[in-house]
Amino acid sequence: FVVDEAHCISQWGHEFRPEYARLGQIRRELGFPQCLALTATATQAVERDIRIQLQMREPHVIRRSVNRPEIQYIVDRVDREEKDAALDRWMTRIVRPCVIYTTTRKEAERIAGIIEGATYYHAGLTMEDRQLVQQQFLHDEMDCLVCTSAFGMGVDKGNVRTVIHHTMPATLEAYMQEIGRAGRDGKEATAILLYAPQDEQLQTFLIETQYAPVLWIDQLQQGVRRGESYTKIETRLHLNPEDPAYRLLKSQLENGWSKERIMQWQVERKQLKGREVSQMMDYIHRNECRRKMLLHHFDEPAIVQPRCCDICGTIEWQDPVKSKVLQPVNWKKRLEQVFFSSLDSV
């Protein structure tokens, strides 16, 4: 019984998902088969919760350091109206291939439009388009991908040299997951976070949208008491069955949660996520080695190394690789080359 991205099982995990919360019950129904749980970002609290949720008895824990010595860390604090200009300056210095993370689909498309040779990727694309973009990036047919957090899980591209965050992530765990796309071949890589004042307000707003409003709870409970199916309720109330906030609420109601329990759980989750945003802000603003802060968050001792972070002043740069600009194909000329070997044959 193998669980990947196991931090999603934990109520303290940065990507808690209700589907994962049922895995412990499924494992019990299967007779407790041998279990393997895997994650790249688990604090000790998350690790304990994974054990509890999967009902693991005295598991053998293999824990490697989260330190990535090949990655150097940079935070660039800029004015809000200067962020695009700052990104443009960085693009002249960095080594590609690179991944640029942003928060919304709209921003991913906009930023890709202002960077030469960039393509965007987000969950709003069709499955065929996502697969095409992903395969092109993996096979070095493009060297700059602008994306939301929808990109990355299960992607193993060894030669990503730079990861840039155009907007700050909500948690240090998410940050570590995303910068972990860089330098998987063990060669030098760089992580750059662009921060402008009030960037955290977007993350605070998104926290509120992740949970169902009280009105939904009342309407769903009333509908169920009248004997309506969830499908009928969704149609009547124009609810999107794929909305994560709705799916979470539906899962809780199906498990017999009361309105009071749901609302209390939401309060606790929002408080947790607020603390996580504060931790991210501390990472951005504190005048302390960034590697030390990241390791401390995962209960690891500090590591002193060359080529570390902007606070340590040990940043090193390679010469940027000029991106290849593909010339548009002249199809008329190409067809002539294919079908006519000489002027005599025209």
- Winning range, highest mean pLDDT, from 6-10, 31-35, 128-132, 330-334: 31-35
Looking at the structure, tell me whether residues 110 and 253 fall in a common domain: no
What average pLDDT does the structure give for the chain?
Answer: 89
Q: How far apart are CA 41 and CA 46, in angstroms?
A: 9
Q: What is the pLDDT of residue 214?
A: 94
Give 162's strand partners.
98, 190
User: At 133, which CATH number?
Assistant: 3.40.50.300
Looking at the structure, tell me whether residues 210 and 193 fall in a common domain: no
Q: What is the pLDDT of residue 19?
A: 80
Looking at the structure, tell me whether residues 91 and 236 fall in a common domain: no
Q: Is the pLDDT of residue 337 over 90?
A: no
| pLDDT, tens only, 311-329 | 998 998 877 655 444 445 5
Beta pairing class for 162-165 and 71-77: unpaired
Q: What is the pLDDT of residue 210?
A: 87
Looking at the structure, tell me whether residues 122 and 154 fall in a common domain: yes
Residue 336 lies in a domain: yes
Looking at the structure, tell me whether residues 79 and 138 fall in a common domain: yes
Looking at the structure, tell me whether residues 122 and 176 fall in a common domain: yes
Helix (H, G, I), strand (E, B) or coil at 268: helix
Looking at the structure, tell me whether residues 185 and 233 fall in a common domain: no
Residue 153 lies in a domain: yes
Nearest to 321 by CA among 193, 195, 194, 187: 187
Residue 278 lies in a domain: no
Q: What is the pLDDT of residue 317?
A: 85
Looking at the structure, tell me whether residues 174 and 208 fall in a common domain: no
DSSP letter for 213, please: -
Residue 277 lies in a domain: no
Looking at the structure, tell me whether residues 294 and 171 fall in a common domain: yes
Picking from 215, 240, 257, the residue at the C-terminal end of a domain is: 257
Sign of CA pseudo-dihedral 240, 244, 249, 252: positive
Nearest to 100 by CA among 84, 82, 78: 84
Within 10 A of 235 (CB to CB), how many other CB atoms are there? 12
pLDDT band at 284 (very low <50, low <70, confident <90, very high): very high
Q: Is the pLDDT of residue 153 over 70?
A: no
Q: How far apart are CA 86 and CA 83, in angstroms?
A: 5
Q: What is the pLDDT of residue 326?
A: 47
Q: What is the pLDDT of residue 344?
A: 45
Number of domains, the chain? 3
Of 86-100, 241-255, 270-284, which gets the smallest average pLDDT? 241-255
| pLDDT, tens only, 217-237 | 999 999 999 999 999 999 999
Q: What is the pLDDT of residue 311?
A: 96
Q: What is the pLDDT of residue 35?
A: 96
Domain, as residue range, for 24? 2-53
Mean pLDDT across the stretch 178-189?
94
Looking at the structure, tell me whether residues 28 and 177 fall in a common domain: no
Mean pLDDT across the stretch 185-195?
96
At 262, which helix (H) or strand (E)? helix 259-285
Q: What is the pLDDT of residue 343?
A: 46
| pLDDT, tens only, 27-82 | 999 999 999 999 988 888 899 999 999 999 999 999 999 999 999 999 999 999 99
CB 55 within 8 A of CB 27: yes
Q: What is the pLDDT of residue 330?
A: 59
Residue 192 lies in a domain: yes
The first and second tokens of residue 25, run together, are 């019950």
Q: Is the pLDDT of residue 105 over 60?
A: yes
Q: What is the pLDDT of residue 255?
A: 86
pLDDT band at 21 (very low <50, low <70, confident <90, very high): confident
Residue 154 lies in a domain: yes
Mean pLDDT across the stretch 171-196?
94
DSSP codes, 159-211:
T--EEEESS--SSHHHHHHHHTTS-TTSS-EEEEEEE-TTHHHHHHHHHHHTS
Q: How far apart are CA 189 and CA 94, in angstroms?
A: 9
Residue 273 lies in a domain: no
DSSP codes, 6-53:
GGGGSTTSTT--HHHHTHHHHHHHTT----EE--S---HHHHHHHHHH
Q: Is the pLDDT of residue 288 over 80?
A: yes
Looking at the structure, tell me whether residues 327 and 313 fall in a common domain: yes
Residue 282 lies in a domain: no
pLDDT band at 331 (very low <50, low <70, confident <90, very high): low
Q: What is the pLDDT of residue 181?
A: 92
Looking at the structure, tell me whether residues 101 and 183 fall in a common domain: yes
